[in-house]
Amino acid sequence: GIQVEQSPPDLILQEGANSTLRCNFSDSVNNLQWFHQNPWGQLINLFYIPSGTKQNGRLSATTVATERYSLLYISSSQTTDSGVYFCAVGPRLGANNLFFGTGTRLTVIP
Amino acid sequence: DGGITQSPKYLFRKEGQNVTLSCEQNLNHDAMYWYRQDPGQGLRLIYYSQIVNDFQKGDIAEGYSVSREKKESFPLTVTSAQKNPTAFYLCASSILGESAEAFFGQGTRLTVV
């Protein structure tokens, strides 16, 4: 299956700082999603972004499909942003199942 | 309220017993999926279904079984053949199509005691 690599694996930020999370993938994709996993384990949809740029409040994401990477930007981080951020991709051919990276664990300290 | 409901939230099982995890959705989605998450890892696909009475194995189907008798429901059975069943299980659904956005339930944490 398609390989998904996320970096950095761990990130510790002071409240108010900005950060960039990266997702590299090994093949062409039709689907790319960013999720935030909260402390209770639920996956919250952040962005559906197979290509282009989107913004939602303090979060924004960019996917450059031709170069096989996506970036998630978090600005003015808050303690509630803590958790694990996952990138997941759906390959161009085949069923619409997602392949996940191993995540970036973000800790925002006050 | 539209969404995906998984139950129970926590489940304890003795070794050698089968156990069934429930997943129900009222989003009118055709496709449903089961994923497994181990500590510090991403999710891996167990089974998926794109239509009633049809389902396909994912990457780690051994020791699991599913059924899809209704569009809204996709239960997962963890059998005694699954060698390491303790994990967090997540159900998802989407419309059909290669680029459809997937939505997830709240998960079931299974512990074998």
Reported as a single tens digit per residue, the pLDDT across B39-90 is: 888 899 999 999 999 999 999 999 999 999 999 999 999 998 888 999 999 9
Task: Indicate the pLDDT class of residue A53, thresholds 50, 70 and 90.
Answer: very high
Say yes or no for a CB contact (<8 Å) between B98 and A100.
Answer: no
Mean pLDDT of the region A79-92: 93
Distance CA A103, CA A66 (A): 22
* Distances, alpha carbon B110 to alpha carbons A58, A108, B82, B103, in Å: 35, 29, 12, 21
Residues in B closer than 8 angstroms to A99, CB to CB, are 45
Tokens representing A63? 């996917």
Bridge partners of B87, per DSSP, are B110
Task: Indicate the pLDDT class of residue A32, thresholds 50, 70 and 90.
Answer: very high
Q: Report yes or no: A58 at the B interface, CB cutoff 8 Å.
A: no
- Exposure b/e, B76-109, CB count within 10 A at least 16 = b: bebeeebeebebbbbbbbbeeeeebbbbbbbbbb
Distance CA A73, CA B6 (A): 31
- In this predicted model, what pLDDT tens digit does every residue of B12-43 receive, in sequence order? 999 889 999 999 999 999 999 999 999 888 89
pLDDT at B1: 60
Say yes or no for a CB contact (<8 Å) between B97 and A96.
Answer: yes
Q: Are A96 and B97 in contact (CB under 8 A)?
A: yes
CA of B96: which chain A residue's CA is closest? Answer: A96
Q: Report yes or no: A83 at the B interface, CB cutoff 8 Å.
A: no
CA of A49: which chain B residue's CA is closest? Answer: B101
Of A33, A50, A92, the CB nearest to B102: A33
Say yes or no for a CB contact (<8 Å) between B48 and A97.
Answer: yes
Say yes or no for a CB contact (<8 Å) between B99 and A40.
Answer: no
Shortest Cα–Cα distance, A83 to chain B (Å): 12
Q: In this structure, is the dihedral angle defined by the CA atoms of residues B24, B27, B31 and B35, taken in order, positive or negative?
A: negative
DSSP state of B9: S
pLDDT at A94: 62
Shortest Cα–Cα distance, B26 to chain A (Å): 18
- Mark residue A32 as left, alpha or beta (left: phi above 0; alpha: psi -120 to 50; beta: remaining): beta
Say yes or no for a CB contact (<8 Å) between B98 and A45.
Answer: no
